[in-house]
Amino acid sequence: MKIKKIILYKEAAVPEINTSQLADFLSNTLSIKVEIKDNIFKEFTNEQIKNLSKIRVIDPKRTFQEYDANDEEIEFEKKLCLDSSIMDTTTKIENAQKISDVLMYDGFELQKILRHLNTDDKVLHVIITNRLTCTYDERDFRYHARTVICANPTIISTSGAIEAPAKPREYYFEVMNMKSQGLGIDSVKEKYKDKVLDYHDKRLTKILEGFVLQSIFYHITGEPFCEDLRCKINNAHWQKDLLFSQLEIDELCQKHQEILSNLN
Ligand SMILES: [Zn+2]
């Protein structure tokens, strides 16, 4: 598919993401126009807000079922749409007593809610959001956090970038150890900062470049990922691999670079 223009929708609640820098990267790499728009959820109607509250995932072991949100939950969803920084006050996975305490949304259902943006199929809409998106995997019958839903609109979850690729096993072990002693985990985060991405991480702008490129490749070739660790669209299963391919390698492999060169 030929893309003429990309519209990037900002996530202002994550100021560490420099959306202009991301737009410049995309227009330089792809030689196409990139426009920046405000957070899409601010424009949501009451109907859309209600629909959003129905796609929360409560039980990760069950396939998607509409959630029957109560008035209080719908009201909270409305506040979250107007001010997405409220996400910071919600329970993170590492602090959750039970997984249903974490605010998670079905990524494919969210994509359906946003599909109305798609009036011109040569324009790719990329929604950056701090909402945690997840998708159900038929292979192990459970939901998993997902960073990118490659479609139009594409959804990129900044929380997904932090929660989806696995952290080192020793990190989880040390976090559990600190918690069992009633201690904070900041020292563990500091120790593993080269291998682990955190909320409000300054490296997020660079990290998001690869995820937007995955979506672009999905639209060009039908295949968003590369198995080569030294490629910017590598499908990283580990945080350390994500940081390596985006920050240290910071370029596409020869095969994917050629695909882009042939486009222009
Ligand atoms: Zn590649």
The per-residue pLDDT for range 44-94, each reduced to its tens digit, is 999 999 999 999 999 999 999 999 999 999 999 999 999 999 999 999 988
pLDDT over threshold 70, residue 115: yes
Cα 217 to ligand 1 centroid, rounded to whole Å: 10
The CATH number of whichever domain residue 59 belongs to comes to 3.40.390.10
Neighbours of ion ligand 1 (CB under 5 A): 226, 228, 231, 253, 256
User: What per-residue confidence (pLDDT) applies to 2?
Assistant: 82
Give mean pLDDT, residues 110-130.
Answer: 96
Cα 9 to ligand 1 centroid, rounded to whole Å: 26
Q: What domain range is 68 assigned to?
A: 5-263
Q: pLDDT by residue (tens digit) across 215-230?
A: 999 999 999 999 999 9
Cis bond before residue 60 (omega within 30° of 0): no
Q: Which residues contact 247 (CB under 8 A, 6 or more apart)?
A: 203, 206, 207
Residue type, 117: L
Q: Total domain count for the chain?
A: 1
Q: Is 243 exposed, middle or buried (0-12, 13-18, 19+ CB in 10 A)?
A: buried
pLDDT over threshold 90, residue 100: no
Taking each helix axis from N to C end, the angle separating 204-221 and 19-30, rounded to the nearest 10 degrees, works out to: 40
Give dist(CA 87, CA 13) in Å, integer: 9
pTM here is 0.95
Give dist(CA 219, CA 221) in Å, integer: 6
pLDDT over threshold 70, residue 264: no
Give dist(CA 202, CA 225) in Å, integer: 24
Whose tokens are 């001010």? That residue is: 83
Cis bond before residue 153 (omega within 30° of 0): yes
Two tokens, residue 54: 């129905």
Cα 230 to ligand 1 centroid, rounded to whole Å: 7
Cα 227 to ligand 1 centroid, rounded to whole Å: 7
Cα 196 to ligand 1 centroid, rounded to whole Å: 23
Cα 98 to ligand 1 centroid, rounded to whole Å: 38
pLDDT over threshold 90, residue 237: yes
